[in-house]
Amino acid sequence: MLPVPKDGGTFWTQYNDLRIRISYEIYDTHISVSASYYIWGDESLVGFCKHTNLRMALKGAIKGLLDEMEEWGMDIWVTTRPATNQKAKFIFFQPEEDLE
Mean of all residue pLDDT scores within the chain? 89
What is the model's pLDDT at position 31? 95
* pLDDT per position as a tens digit, 30-45: 999 999 999 888 889 9
What is the model's pLDDT at position 5? 73
Q: What is the dihedral of CA 57, 64, 35, 75, to 10 degrees?
A: 150
Query: 91: pLDDT confidence band, cut at 50, 70 and 90?
Result: confident
Domain ranges of the chain: 7-72
* pLDDT per position as a tens digit, 59-85: 999 999 999 999 888 888 888 988 899
What is the model's pLDDT at position 32? 96
pTM (predicted TM-score): 0.80
The DSSP-derived string for 37-99 is EEEETTEEEEEEEEESSHHHHHHHHHHHHHHHHHHTTEEEEEEEETTTTEEEEEEEE--GGG-
